[in-house]
Structure 1
Amino acid sequence: MTEKVAVLGAGSWGSILANLLAENGHDVMLWSHKEEQVRQLNEEHVNPRYIKDFTYSTALKATSDMKSAVAGADVVLVVVPTKAIREVGGRLGQLLNELGQKSLIVHATKGLEQQTYKRPSEMLAEEIQAENRSGIVVLSGPSHAEDVARRDLTSVTAACNDVAGAEKVQQLFSNDYFRVYTNDDVIGAEFGAALKNIIAIGAGIINGLGYHDNAKAALITRGLTEIRRLGVAFGANPFTFIGLSGVGDLIVTATSVNSRNWRAGNQLGQGKSLKEVMDDMGMVIEGVYTTKAAYELSRQRNVSMPITEAIYQVLYEGADVKTAINGLMQREVTSEVE
């Protein structure tokens, strides 16, 4: 069954998800606030700033007019950086209200809001009136845009408090190379998606310092423990963190050169400053902001997150990366299950 879908955000992930939906036979309109990007997508079917050497489906249409994208959409997929969720969600909420429309809201954003520490679904729920949304679904899991573009086999999770919403997203996205599982643990899916970016920065640092597989495996494993601790403190199901939106997303983000967070950490490990890294990247590095939010949140909730704390010290207090790693290794020894 063909659905009308609006995709808000034409970065690497948003544009590739929009392309997948178009290839699945849906009526897709991709929104960007950048006129030149819209022109390139419509006329040349390319998005070179974000995905190089890839040609998008001619069925995919782009626009800089959010209202025309959203009007009549059965589903609205929001794929923007965490810091833009409030603004985009607010505009979306106003438009849906103006149009008298009720759509299923899906998001694929991975982060926590600064100062409030709210998850993307919480922000969207605050910005979009209940009468204008039939549900909010989280789409998350191990899925680099570059790999989905080349049709690499990919599995992700659609999480929603109402399983019917998750099942609709499952049917919308699933095809022979993109498989979607359902889950009802929105909290766990969003914490897993956000916090793995912190550990990916740490894994990049490890690599930049010249450490190898043993160090990487230890960091990822103990990092997962920290992710689970904080998520469970907010009511997440601990089993979610051994699923696709937990360990799955963590593995792909903490081991791949396609990960901005890993690349950022790698450069930090090689001695570059955070400013140099961010200037070089040219795109949002979600883990930098999530580290601050998670560190502050862990202090408020009295949750032990030593890896997160060490990365926070490197990013925000100017700590030397080698000193931070040594500090982690020289902490008082303890039980693995604590």
Structure 2
Amino acid sequence: MIRVADLAWLEFEKPDLDRAEVFARDFGFAIAARTPHELWLRGTFAGSPCMVIRRGRASRFLGPAFRAAERADVDRLAAAVGHTVRDIDVTGGGRSVALFDPSGLPVRVVHCAEPLPALPEQPPLPLNTGTRPRRTNATQRPPREPSRIQRLGHVVLETRTFARTLDWYLDTLGMIVSDFLFLDGQRGRGPTMAFIRCDQGSLPVDHHTLALHLGPGTGYVHSAYQVTDLDAIAAGGEYLAERGYQRSWGIGRHIQGSQLFDYWRDPDRFMLEHFADGDLFSCDLEPGWAPMSASGLAQWGPPVTRDFLGTNPSPAKLREVMTALRDDNELDPARLLGLMKAMSS
């Protein structure tokens, strides 16, 4: 129907906005706006905010908002699905249309009238490499401070209706696939994970803006935020560790997307990623195919954790699996066993 240009922001509810703001600053966000009922977070790049957190009774993910390239795209999409275009309360104003993907997750497509101005950057450190020294008579001392977020990079979502949900994002929002993952011995049944990007023609964009994978749950898995370089990731990680936050997995380098990564849990147990040096693809690359496995998630780094994989046993996880197997969806016993094997391989 349209081709979205990028993720705009992610929407959450949390009961304690003060605690959310403390973590946001420690993680490296800047505050775009704060009211008694809303907290808008941003990066240093010009554009839209990265995240809005609204005061609510419980901590939960509300859904993603994607950025339309033109205001007319919002109108055209609303007309095609029979929904109303509404004003949005973001700084500078704008318009949006509210949709639902086949998983039942709310998805907004927005066009902001006035982008936020850029903020001062965290400069990359000059590196001496091979025969190209850039630093002489000077030591290297990255400051122990928060990794300054530049922008929102991607969000990962879990769904029980993988094929239908993937098709919806491709058909409705004009996204395209960078890589498929499949289960060992089940490639004939199709993929169980897809890394998908925005289609901006010959303009290179992030390897994935959205990743979807089949599973017993529905909704948010993690979101990723770009920082300057590896030193920003590492020094910012030390800053977070000193303040008692939990690292979920890292530091390492992924295979699909190639980015340097470091994953953390916020006080409400949501997972967030610092990343740098990710792949950029234009529209003319064909999708890759690879088997899904825990060892295939990184080129180097520490072994992947159970916390990152979401395989820690709990009564809630068991109920989630049993509910998924009873309902009419794409998760059957063979798929579930294949996923369990992949996450232990």
**Structure with more helix by fraction:** 1
TM-score (normalizing by structure 2): 0.34
**Structure with more strand by fraction:** 2
TM-score (normalizing by structure 1): 0.34
